[in-house]
Amino acid sequence: MDRNYSFFVGDIALDEYYRAPYWPNIREKVLVETLEKHVGGMIANAASVYNAYNESVYFLSLLNSGNITQMLCEDLRKRGIDTRYILTDDTLPDAKNIIILTEDDHTLFIPTLGIKHFEITPEIIEDMCKAKYVYSSIVEVRPLRCGEMDAMDIIKKIRASGAKIVYDLDVAHLEPGDERFFEEMDIVFFNKNGFDVYRNGAPYEQAVAQLLNKGTEMVVVTFAEEGCKVHTKDQLIEVPGISVEVVDVTGAGDTFCSSFIHALNQSEDLRLVANFANAAAARAVTIMGPRGGVASSETIISFLIEKGIGTEEEYIGF
């Protein structure tokens, strides 16, 4: 089967940006600067970055049908992302995020939409089964239903078909019972804070081994400016960070993850793959907005070469 597209399942939102002079204490008032709004959302950011590498993307989400949703969907379509699987429920609120920039970092407030049940069709599942990757997070797949099938049944069917399940667990918003999802995934990404939440005091190496022993092919942990680690049963790849002037870190993790799976489509050399994703994320933080990582592979390779990390010959085909 020629798996020539991927499904990205989850959020898209209007990101409202504010800049604060410092982070306030409880009950303190602070004046903030209102900045330009951007189209964002963790999964949509990743989908946009992946699509910019000439990868084919279908986007699956549940939103209301209001003006903000129409604007968000139009943004995806302009990028070439297929939105036919964005379903609507007008009981849901508008999808928005609140991002506060201060102290050379960001704090992200994500108002939940309250989705407990997201009914999809057998036809959608069949198309997901034919994908190369189904990219999401546990928070986003947890509500999926199809008749008598719950989220776990759907994931098992998709994975059994040969599609790879990819989770970006970021800061690991996990609930009791989510452990079952760790039995059915192929690639998982954490940032350092998220992995600390997941391992819950267990030694780092033990937590990685536990995931790999459950059948996960690859565990990737990012450490912001300190780079990343890629773990498989046979390899440990450590890639150092890249020094850049930080403008906005929003979307850097999304850029890393989707750049990683794009690079994985091009090469089996995990060091090249990790270097490419690390460079894409480093470049993204030098640009304002959650889609700062949207770029061609040629742009990322030029950035790599500029930073003295690789040669053009190493990245032929990316």
SS3 40: strand
Task: Write out pLDDT tens, residues 90-102.
Answer: 999 999 999 999 9
Q: What is the DSSP string of 203-217?
A: -HHHHHHHHHHTT-S
Calculate the average pLDDT of the chain.
95
Ordered structural domains, the chain, with CATH:
6-12+41-95+117-315 (3.40.1190.20)
User: In this predicted model, what pLDDT tens digit does every residue of 212-254 receive, in sequence order?
Assistant: 999 999 999 999 999 999 999 999 999 999 999 999 999 999 9
Q: Is the pLDDT score of 71 beyond 90?
A: yes
Spatial contact of 93 and 65, defined as CB atoms under 8 Å apart: no
Bridge partners (DSSP) of residue 245 are none
DSSP H helical ranges for the chain = 42-52, 67-78, 122-129, 138-141, 151-160, 192-199, 204-213, 252-266, 270-284, 297-306
Cα(292)–Cα(287) distance, rounded to whole angstroms?
A: 5
**Which tens digits make up the pLDDT trace of 140-193?**
999 999 999 999 999 999 999 999 999 999 866 788 889 899 999 999 999 999
Q: Please give the torsion angle defined by the CA atoms of residues 274, 278, 280 and 281, in that order, rounded to the nearest 10 degrees.
A: 140
Q: 0.85 cut: is pTM over it?
A: yes
What percentage of the chain exceeds 70 in pLDDT? 99
Q: Are 135 and 166 in contact (CB under 8 A)?
A: yes
